[in-house]
Amino acid sequence: MLEIEIDGKKVKVPDGGTVMDAANKAGTYIPHFCYHKKLSIAASCRMCLVEVEKVPKPLPACATPVTNGMKVFTHSEKSVKAQKGVMEFLLINHPLDCPICDQGGECQLQDLAVGYGGSASRYAEEKRVVVNKNLGPLISTDMTRCIHCTRCVRFGQEIAGIMELGVANRGERSEIMTFVDRTVDSELSGNAIDLCPVGALTSKPFRFSARTWEMSRRRSISPHDSLGSNLVVQIKHDRVKRVLPLENESLNECWLSDKDRFSYEALNSEDRLTRPMVKQGGQWIETDWQTALEYAAKALKGVIGEHGAAAIGALVSPHTTLEEQYLSQVLIRGLGSDNVDFRLRQSDFSADETRVGIPSLGMPVAEINELDRVLVIGSFLRKDHPLLAQRLRQAAKRGCQINLIGHSADDQLMKLQANLAVAPSLLVGELAALAVAIAEQKNLAVDASIAALASEVSAEIKAVATSLISGESRAVFIGNAVVQHPAFASVWFIAQTIADLTEARLGFFGEAAGSVGGYAAKAIPQTGLNAAAMLQSSLKAYLLVGVEPALDFADSVAAKAALEKAETVVALTAFRSAVDAVADVMLPIAPFAETSGTFVNCEGSAQSFHAVVKPQGETRPAWKVLRVLGNILELDGFAFESSEAVRDEALSGGLASALSNRIGSVTLAKGRTNNGVERIADVPIYFADPLVRRASSLQKTRDARAPGMRVNASMIQRLGLEAGGRARVSANGVMAELNVELDAGVPDNCVRIAAGHPQTQALGPMFGNLAVERI
């Protein structure tokens, strides 16, 4: 530890600390622009120049290492003179157009200019004008305002993992730009807006729609991925205008993925259902709540009366809150059925038989950064979990060896020890081989049933084994593609074996904001039918909660067929188009911003939030709708006064003790030898849930472009295709026509066709064989 005196205040900082660190510790503010605690030091804005005893020149606090006994004067005449000098330079070419600048009121330059700027400019020459750039649909530019702090550049290089922005040209003509007219396509790009200390990079969707001081700020939790990012939702006139990160060092740090940040646009979408509707004679008719609820109750009761309680079932979106999931299952069970599930994209449910507890990450999110060796199985990491991937990226930078085994070797923008792509039918065999290789290298025994399944141990698998048996802190993570895999239970069991052999922690990334909550809320069948079985056995009535049937299921064709055949479909939905093709009654429910509730994130933290705006139109929070429906159906246990009461009851058994990633013995599924063409289905980041599908700006990004069919070069040859051409893909007699895209990361015998998109929905199951022919 080194001792330093800042403005007479003594502080101790660890060796290698800077004057800025010491000042932060002492609670002294030193003005700065280019310095950011999460980014590397540039020392280029010079705003943080301070006087240091015995040093003739003022030194930049951000880059000056502390020496023992150093005395720093942050507000001395010399310091302030230097800071004012720098401020003058920053302002001479700045347009000073605060009245028309979106950053006005939350601008670091504006704030500091009040303290350090002159009241009049001594600069009488022509000011610089910089041409604006098109960075894509999310980031708006006013480059004349740029002060060249390079935070956006360093963010790309260091956090997002890709340098999409750089400084071109020199001197006064330096400009921040992308490489020759490219756009900024990172899934974390919106953070550059937060980082920009001036109004050079602002939010395009938010542009000119409100002033920061006109909005109230309320906390919320992101309803998308399993991280549960903390949000600040900004509101004006009872409408959500913008979403910003709420700093939470243990989860999202100071970042947000673009999905979390920009999906709020869907809240104000035209597609919102704002009045209850009932289908009569094939026509949708608006009605009042009482009528609609009584209609729904009567329909459900009618089916039970005629076909028995087992003929009804509830399908609940994994993006719904704990409370919504809990009341859904209470309602269904109250009606006498056990058919309830939230795991809509899962196809193998045999793990339920020997699963010990609720699968979760198995460790605090923040500990990801400290891992030394990681195996990730079946994850489209960067797009499935943008901020968990960011943490792994930081870990990789620290020297963590990250091994990926999945269905596509996508570029994760981080240093990887291995990035292996295997066909879905080969996943079990390859992982078994990995277990065998590890056991061999560690001189341990491996379960004979696993050894029997193992493929030949390849050099790559051997290298992964070697990597995983070293290091101090290890983890094996199971991604979404494994949970969706037809041999999920087998993969889980082998992953557990690998974790045991390497003394690693085992964890699930989790698909959605409610993936842990669904288990906690018991929105899974005990004796009844799971999501897939409910569709296969064609129930007579379905209750849909927040579901978009055409896009949310493992097999969209089966879902459509089952729902169309049903006598009654009662849908609680925020969006009309999500269910209007299959439902008989639509009850408008509030999306996350308009309801209170709880999301249990991947690490098992239950994060509750309040509604930040009033529900639109006659929309009601889903927990209230379910409660009233329960009351109308005269069921017990629906006397809740608040969502907190629902939460407390749902979690009354304790959450932490219920978490477990262990699985008992499993009858291992040998991967079928498969000579056909296998489908690999990712769920594209901006098609993953009903909300983000309706976020208009996100839908204009590159990640949201219509999916094609991605194949490697040898498959193109084998199938007689042409990259850039069209292909006809068929499965179970249904066809889709898609563009052929060359992707070296797709394994042999496979085509990668995204799920969750209207264009590919007709193809049905996410896994299985397809026929492909050239058009």
Binding site for other proteins (CB under 8 A): 41-47, 49, 56-58, 60, 63, 65, 82, 85-86, 88-90, 92-93, 122-125, 147-148, 167, 169-174
The distance of closest approach from Cβ of residue 65 to other proteins in the complex, given in angstroms and rounded to an integer, is: 7
CB of 401 to other proteins, least distance (A): 21
Q: DSSP letter for 159, please.
A: I
User: Closest distance between other proteins and the C-beta of residue 83, in Å?
Assistant: 10
Nearer to other proteins, 16 or 27 (CB): 16
Q: How far apart are CB 19 and other proteins at their closest, in Å?
A: 13
Task: Kindly give, in sequence order, each residue whose CB lies less than 8 Å from that of residue 37, ignoring residues fewer than 6 positions away.
Answer: none
The answer to whether 411 and 384 are in contact (CB under 8 A) is no
- CA trace torsion 715, 718, 721, 723 (10° rounding): 40
Residue 125 C-beta: closest distance to other proteins, Å: 4
Identity of the residue, 90 or 358, whose beta carbon is nearer to other proteins in the bound complex: 90
Q: Which residues pair with 772 in a beta bridge?
A: 729
- Of 173 and 237, CB closest to other proteins: 173
Give least dist CB 63 to other proteins, A: 5
Least distance from C-beta 120 to other proteins, angstroms? 12
Q: Which residue, 94 or 540, has its beta carbon nearer to other proteins?
A: 94
Neighbouring-strand partners of residue 775: none
Closer to other proteins at the Cβ: 169 or 652? 169
Which residues lie closer than 8 Å to 417 by C-beta, 6 or more apart?
A: 401, 402, 403, 463, 464, 467
Tokens representing 454 are 């193992």
- Shortest CA distance to 682 belongs to which of 315, 464, 409? 409
In the complex, what is the shortest distance from the CB of residue 749 to other proteins, in angstroms, rounded to a whole number?
Answer: 41
User: Min. distance of Cβ 51 from other proteins in angstroms?
Assistant: 12
- C-beta of residue 232 within 8 angstroms of C-beta of residue 217: yes
Q: Is the dihedral of CA 419, 421, 427, 433 positive or negative?
A: negative
Q: Phi/psi class of residue 228: alpha, beta or left (left: φ > 0; alpha: ψ in -120 to 50)?
A: left
Q: Which is nearer to other proteins, 16 or 99 (CB)?
A: 16
Q: Provide the residue type at 767 as one letter.
A: F
At 188, the amino acid letter reads L
What distance, in Å, lies between the first and last C-alpha atoms of the chain?
70
Under 8 Å between Cβ of 747 and 407: yes
The residue (of 177 and 695) whose beta carbon lies closer to other proteins is 177
Residue type, 323: E
Cβ atoms of 543 and 635 within 8 Å: the answer is: no
* CB-nearer residue toward other proteins: 146 or 437: 146
Pull the structure tokens for residue 617.
């139109």
Task: Answer for the pair 384, 479: CB distance below 8 angstroms, yes or no.
Answer: yes
Query: For residues 58 and 228, which CB has a smaller minimum distance to other proteins in the complex?
Result: 58
